Every structure is written in structure tokens, then in C-alpha cells.
């Protein structure tokens, strides 16, 4: 069984070259399954987890999130990077303290985003956001863990699709100590190329939005890490919706799959 040091080293090595997919389980069962099919690292999804609690993305407390991270990390031998939202802190010192708590759950890395949760001001100003990344970096360094820090510029997610501002933020976060840079929802080749170039040689994570691209296509564009976000959780919910809605509306069972999944879940989880 790998130690947390082994997991962190594996995650760091994955960021050094090539391109890899880091899929997003939403519970221990999905984490175990994703490990069984050969992925080399996992990342949690705040949305997927919130849905299991009957809440919207961002609707779980810090302590609930910490317990969830511990559950996922304990369920798999793979390194886990945590979607830790904006660090659950009102200020940089609180972010640092919460990062220390997150590291204690057994994760190998985590992301901190610059969204505020306030629709009136969707992102922290650049200085404040950068200080929060710097605080997260300090907490990791003081822990001695070497966990991978990903910094997220949420511009395209929160209605501010300003590529220049996105790049300015990512460059500041890189300077503040982020190991990996992430601008969720950038999509075009031009956007991806601009971000990859702007923060080089640091690795870039892209959230998959382009059904026309394969992993090899992303690799050709210089992307190091590909996230699915809540995509797998949404796929699972789509299956539930199809089966349950047809049963409720027409009494039909034709929304259910005709066969069980091609994996023995009892054996996998046993």
C-alpha cells in the first residue's frame, strides 16, 4: 500500500511531462472503480459531492468537505487532488489553516479557486486572490508534504470571460507558488494555447468541454492535465433521470439498462 509520500511523488511526476486524465469520483465507490480501470490519479468534484447531499455545488461546509476528502483518499491507492473550492476562508490566514486541515486527510494535492460565491463580486481582486494562493503555498511548505497546489482563475466560469485578465491572474498565482494552473471553461484552441504559453513551463490543467478532442489532441496543444469536473456525476444522474422519469411518467421500465454494468461491483468493493 503506497504511503502519502508515495502518492504525492506520483502526482508530482505526472505533472512533469506528457498529458494525463485526472477523473473525478464523487464517492468512495466511484473512486474504487476509476482506480480499477487504470487511471493513475483522481480529483474530487465539489459538485458531484454536493449532489450526494442534495445540495448545489458549493453547498457543503468545510467540515463536511474535509470528511469527504478523507473518505475518498482512504478508498484508493491513487493520489487524490482535492477540489477545495476557495479554501473556505474569509482571509488568507484562514485559507492557510484550512489547507493544513485538508492535507491531514491524506490528499496528495488540492486546488484553490478565486471565486467568492458572491454574485455581486464573483472573484476576489487580484491582490487578495494572489495572497490566498501564497497562503496555501506557505501552509503546504510548512507541512513538509510537497502536495501539489493548483490555482484556478474562475473568469470563464463566473461570467467574466476576459482572457487577458485570466492570464494575468494565472501568472500571478504561478509566481505565488502554484504548481499547476487552471482556468476552467476555456475552450478554443486559441485560448488554450495562450494560457499554456503564458504560464510555461508550469503545467496547465484543462476542464474537458470539447467532444471533438481526444487526450492526444489535448497533449498536442501542450495541456498537461485534463479534468472531467462533475461530468461523470452528471452522466450517472442522467442515467437515473432517464430510468426514473420514464417509470414515473408512463410506468415503463425501458429506461433501465438491459444488462448489469460489465463489472462485478460486489467483487470490486469486497
Predicted pLDDT at 233: 96
Predicted pLDDT at 197: 98
Predicted pLDDT at 263: 86
Q: For 87-132, how does the pLDDT look when each residue is reduced to its tens digit (9 = 90+)?
A: 999 899 999 999 999 999 999 999 999 999 998 999 999 999 999 9
Distance CA 219, CA 183 (A): 17
Residues whose CB falls within 8 Å of the CB of residue 54, separated by 6 or more in sequence, listed in order: none
**Is 245 in a helix, a strand, or coil?**
helix
Predicted pLDDT at 262: 81
Kindly tell me the burial class for residue 73, based on how many C-beta atoms sit within 10 Å of its own C-beta (0-12, 13-18, 19 or more): buried
Domains and CATH numbers, the chain: 4-229 (3.20.20.60)
pTM score: 0.96
Given a cut of 50, the residues of the chain with pLDDT beneath it are none
Q: Partners of 49 in the beta sheet?
A: none
Give strand ranges (E) for the chain: 20-22, 42-43, 80-83, 109-113, 115-118, 121-123, 148-152, 180-182, 204-207, 225-227
Phi and psi at residue 20, to the nearest 5°? -135, 155
Predicted pLDDT at 264: 87
Amino acid at each position: 500500500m503506497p504511503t502519502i509520500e508515495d502518492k504525492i511523488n506520483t502526482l508530482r511526476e505526472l505533472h512533469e511531462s506528457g498529458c494525463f486524465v485526472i477523473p473525478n469520483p464523487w464517492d468512495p465507490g466511484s473512486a474504487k472503480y476509476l482506480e480499477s480501470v487504470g487511471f493513475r490519479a483522481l480529483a474530487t468534484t465539489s459538485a458531484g459531492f454536493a449532489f450526494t447531499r442534495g445540495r448545489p455545488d458549493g453547498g457543503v461546509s468545510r467540515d463536511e468537505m474535509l470528511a469527504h476528502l478523507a473518505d475518498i483518499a482512504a478508498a484508493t491507492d491513487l493520489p487524490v487532488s482535492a477540489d477545495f473550492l476557495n479554501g473556505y476562508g474569509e482571509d488568507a490566514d484562514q485559507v492557510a489553516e484550512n489547507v493544513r486541515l485538508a492535507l491531514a486527510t491524506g490528499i496528495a494535492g488540492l486546488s484553490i479557486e478565486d471565486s467568492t460565491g458572491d454574485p455581486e463580486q464573483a472573484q476576489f481582486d487580484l491582490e487578495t486572490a494572489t495572497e490566498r494562493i501564497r497562503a496555501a503555498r506557505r501552509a503546504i511548505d510548512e507541512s513538509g508534504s510537497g502536495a501539489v497546489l493548483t490555482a484556478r482563475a474562475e473568469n470563464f466560469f463566473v461570467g467574466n470571460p476576459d482572457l487577458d485578465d485570466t492570464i494575468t491572474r494565472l501568472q500571478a498565482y504561478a509566481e505565488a507558488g502554484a504548481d499547476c494552473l487552471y482556468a476552467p471553461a476555456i475552450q478554443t484552441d486559441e485560448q488554450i494555447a495562450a494560457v499554456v504559453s503564458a504560464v510555461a513551463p508550469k503545467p496547465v490543467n484543462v476542464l474537458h468541454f470539447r467532444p471533438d478532442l481526444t487526450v492526444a489532441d489535448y497533449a498536442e496543444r501542450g495541456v498537461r492535465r485534463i479534468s472531467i469536473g462533475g461530468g461523470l456525476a452528471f452522466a450517472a444522474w442522467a442515467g437515473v433521470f432517464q430510468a426514473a422519469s420514464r417509470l414515473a411518467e408512463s410506468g415503463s421500465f425501458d429506461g433501465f439498462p438491459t444488462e448489469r454494468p460489465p463489472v462485478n461491483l460486489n467483487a470490486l468493493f469486497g
